[in-house]
């Protein structure tokens, strides 16, 4: 796919928000992987990926493995020696070359890097060709440290639905972190992170979710994609038990100042319509616990 030299969705959101500068956005980032980013990748135990299935639904998920399971093999290629677990909504998406968003996030240090490009499965390896590589600030990241892995192997148990049940609603409203995948025509896929104090995500109905958008880097990579294509996919992890909740649907930006002012620190709200739910029990052997928490400040 030939990508355009500017992202019209990002620029539209920037203009509406009164932020950014001409040309400010994802196309300004290079495709090369710096050595320090490769070192960061090689010490990770998990990465987040996002993509779109054959029906056009966007999904995010998490891949896990031992240290060194992911890393660069050259300046524009990353090998991930892990694949989505059976039943994961992205299980077979990368059997052919598809757009991918990738987020390497280190909860224990609140560091993260973001990589967008294309990917295709080669045996047991996901081969990622980079198109955008950038570092992200550590804002809104809750620090966690790894506990000993749960003994494996695991047998994932998958449950699918079109609405959120009471337990899933409680899971979401108790979360301080989730991951979001989006994609826009001519711009490819993206995976990102959203964080806040527990309760920052609200379930307003079994098929409706709302969260605040706080001040960030003004790139608006996720909101820019949603401006052009509302499809997106969310992942909520049960950090202590290793379960995962994937939700796919569509999102819209709510610019209503009256509703936004009711949420501390919010610049705008995002309303999400649930279309598909995939809960995977025993998703990963990784187990995390809170590090010393720091007060959440959304400003």
Q: What is the pLDDT of residue 1?
A: 47
Around 27, how many Cα atoms within 13 Å sit in the side-chain half-sphere?
A: 18
Is it the case that residue 69 has pLDDT exceeding 50?
yes
Is it the case that residue 296 has pLDDT exceeding 70?
no
Is it the case that residue 48 has pLDDT exceeding 60?
yes
Q: What is the pLDDT of residue 215?
A: 85
Helical (H) or strand (E) element with 194: strand 188-195
Structural domains for the chain: 8-290 (2.30.110.10)
**How far apart are alpha carbons 37 and 43 in whole angstroms?**
10
pLDDT band at 4 (very low <50, low <70, confident <90, very high): low
**Dihedral sign from CA coordinates of 70, 72, 76, 81:** negative
Q: Count H helices, E strands: the chain?
A: 5, 17
| 26, 224 contact by CB (below 8 A) | yes
pLDDT band at 221 (very low <50, low <70, confident <90, very high): very high
Candidates 227, 275, 219, 284; CA nearest to 9 is 227
| 232, 182 contact by CB (below 8 A) | yes
Total-model pTM: 0.95
Structure tokens given for 43: 């010490």
Structure tokens given for 292: 């010393």
107-137 tens-digit pLDDT:
988 899 999 999 999 999 999 999 999 997 7
Q: What is the pLDDT of residue 136?
A: 78
Average pLDDT taken over every residue of the chain: 93
Q: What is the pLDDT of residue 218?
A: 80
**How far apart are alpha carbons 211 and 13 in whole angstroms?**
17
Is it the case that residue 276 has pLDDT exceeding 90?
yes
| 246, 261 contact by CB (below 8 A) | no
Angle between helices 8-17 and 221-228 (to 10 degrees): 110
164-180 tens-digit pLDDT:
999 999 999 999 999 99
Q: Work out the end-to-end distance of the chain between its first and last CA atoms, rounded to an integer number of angstroms.
A: 38
Is it the case that residue 265 has pLDDT exceeding 70?
yes
Is it the case that residue 299 has pLDDT exceeding 90?
no
pLDDT band at 140 (very low <50, low <70, confident <90, very high): confident
Query: Is pLDDT larger for residue 192 or for residue 142?
Result: 192
**How far apart are alpha carbons 70 and 68 in whole angstroms?**
5
Helical (H) or strand (E) element with 52: strand 46-52
pLDDT band at 214 (very low <50, low <70, confident <90, very high): very high
pLDDT band at 139 (very low <50, low <70, confident <90, very high): confident
Q: What is the pLDDT of residue 294?
A: 56
pLDDT band at 20 (very low <50, low <70, confident <90, very high): low
């Amino acid at each position: 796919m030939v990508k355009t030299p500017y992202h019209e969705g990002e620029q539209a959101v920037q203009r509406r928000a009164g932020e950014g500068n001409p040309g400010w956005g994802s196309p300004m980032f290079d495709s090369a992987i710096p050595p320090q980013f490769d070192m960061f990748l090689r010490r990770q135990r998990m990465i987040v990926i996002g993509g779109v299935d054959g029906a056009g639904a966007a999904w995010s998920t998490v891949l896990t493995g031992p240290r060194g399971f992911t890393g660069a093999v050259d300046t524009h290629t990353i090998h991930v020696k892990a694949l989505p677990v059976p039943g994961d909504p992205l299980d077979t998406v990368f059997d052919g070359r598809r757009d991918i968003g990738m987020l390497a996030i280190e909860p224990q240090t609140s560091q993260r890097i973001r990589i967008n490009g294309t990917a295709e499965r080669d045996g047991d390896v996901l081969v990622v060709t980079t198109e955008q590589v950038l570092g992200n600030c550590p804002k809104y990241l809750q620090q966690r440290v790894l506990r000993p892995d749960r003994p494996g192997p695991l047998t994932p148990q998958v449950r699918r639905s079109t609405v959120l049940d009471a337990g899933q609603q409680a899971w979401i409203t108790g979360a301080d972190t989730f991951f979001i995948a989006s994609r826009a025509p001519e711009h490819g896929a993206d995976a990102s992170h959203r964080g806040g104090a527990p309760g920052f995500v609200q379930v307003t109905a079994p098929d409706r979710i709302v969260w605040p958008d706080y001040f960030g880097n003004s790139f608006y990579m996720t909101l820019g994609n949603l401006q052009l294509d509302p499809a997106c996919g969310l992942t909520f992890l049960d950090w202590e038990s290793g379960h995962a909740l994937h939700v796919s649907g569509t999102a819209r930006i709510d610019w209503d100042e009256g509703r936004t002012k009711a949420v501390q620190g919010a610049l705008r709200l995002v309303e999400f319509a649930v279309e598909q739910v995939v809960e995977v029990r025993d998703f990963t052997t990784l187990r995390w616990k809170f590090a010393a928490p720091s007060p959440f400040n959304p400003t």
